Copies of this chain bind each other. A is one copy, B any other.
Amino acid sequence: MITLDYNNMMTEFVTNGIKEEALHALSNIAEKAVLNIEARRKKDLEFLELPYNQNDIINDILKYRDEMKHIETYVVLGIGGSALGTIALQNALNHPYYNELREEARCGLPKLYVIDNVDPEILASLLEIIDVDKSLFNVISKSGETIETMSQFKEIKKLLKNSENIVCTTDKENGSLIEIAKEEGYKCFYIPRNVGGRFSVLTPVSLLPLAFCGVDIKALLEGAALMDEQCKSTNISENPALAFAVLNYLSMKAGKNIIAMMPYANSLKYISDWFAQLWAESLGKKFDRNGNTVHVGSTPIKTLGVTDQHSMLQLFSEGPYDKIIVFIGSKKYRKEFADHSNLIQIEQAATQYALSTAERQNMTITLDEINEQSIGKLIHFFQIAVAYTAEFLNINAFDQPGVEETKKMTYALLHEKEEVLNRVKKKERYVI
């Protein structure tokens, strides 16, 4: 069970909160949002079908994992959607010090590193601590053209004697990566054509590395399927993703341009990072679907309870009324530590209470416990909620035109550096 408690979003609990009538007034649009998304399920929104249509893929993944049992280190080369889901779920579901466990304590499973930056210090440092010949490098890029990933890959390839140390996750037909993979005979897994990077956590993008690290990927998909069923209702008070979308839409319309994600569990820290990409890239848009300039999108921020009570809470409770806070809690923790065990839950309740008292809107998602099934539910909940929110905003949640300018300029700087740099004239007096 996952529950969404939005009492503290409502005007009965927080001054200037949402009125129940405002929810009712949106019920027609809400119904249409669900039907619109549902209608695209078998067409271009394949992420909705991922919980159901991957039996063969799961078998392939598990078979490949068993063949590769000898590898000691699993390295993901990927960035953005190719990295964030794996980081989030590995941290949620495995030991917090997984890579530092002795091999027996890790049950012989490989260490996992996700290299999601082109900082030369990171890759050079990684090579100091791993044995490349006992490592499996998983190159992940849907387009096969991601400059950061392909650049890392080009260098790693030179160090490897054996093509079995490489596995590619990419589009089945398009891009440089699949071409290289075919030429060199690399093992490949595929990202479905109709699943975008930030919606790909339930594809081999994350399923493959997680399976290598002992995560029960079937249970993950089962959880997602259960949430998918729960989100078929067109009724706001029955469909949690729909309620989340409506509440966020109304908050954005009321001028709240920040959404703070605040899990009260160290293991869920990186769920916020994954959510941030999903939310920001899907909803941060210049144009609506009619071509009107709208510049919408609330900014997701990542916080962690109780840690950030000592960092962000002062601003949350006394600063501008510009944000909503989304708590994520768990009824149970997987380990005990003396009378410490319920302090985190008490502090979560105290912070919810204090923020409401300070008239700050907040809502709470509660998991029964943190495991594959509940995490499958949680991520699918967010994926569906983002799709709905875009319906209310009348924007396309599935493109990212705003990153093109950086890509073009990167390309230009790489290839004709001097001339392009001249375009960026600066005033020296604005440099101290």
Binding site for B on A (CB under 8 A): 3-7, 9-10, 12, 79-81, 83-84, 95-97, 99-101, 105, 116-126, 128-129, 147-148, 151-152, 154-155, 197, 237-240, 243, 257-258, 264-267, 273, 276-277, 280-281, 283-286, 295-297, 299, 301-302, 304, 306-307, 309-323, 333-341, 343-344, 346-347, 349-354, 357-358, 400-403, 405-407, 409-410, 412-414, 421, 423-424, 426-427, 429-432
Contact = CB atoms under 8 A, between A and B. Distances in A.
Given A79-B310, A309-B406, A337 B124 contact: yes
Given A295-B319, A349-B413, A314 B7 contact: no
Q: Taking each of A10, A95, A121, which has the highest tally of chain B beta carbons within 10 Å of its own beta carbon?
A: A121
A97 B125 contact: yes
B120 A337 contact: yes
B84 A406 contact: no
Contacts of A4: 431-432
A5 B128 CA distance: 35
Q: Is the interface of A mostly helix, strand, loop or mixed?
A: helix
Given A118-B343, A277-B310, A319-B285, A338 B402 contact: no
B322 A299 contact: yes
Contact of A358 (B10, B84, B333, B405): B405
Contacts of A352: 424
Contacts of A100: 99-100, 129
A414 B323 CA distance: 29
A423 B341 CA distance: 23
A430 to B, nearest CB: 4
A81 to B, nearest CB: 7
Contacts of A99: 100
A308 to B, nearest CB: 8
A180 to B, nearest CB: 17
A367 to B, nearest CB: 14
A265 B281 CA distance: 22
Contact of A307 (B116, B240, B280, B414): B116
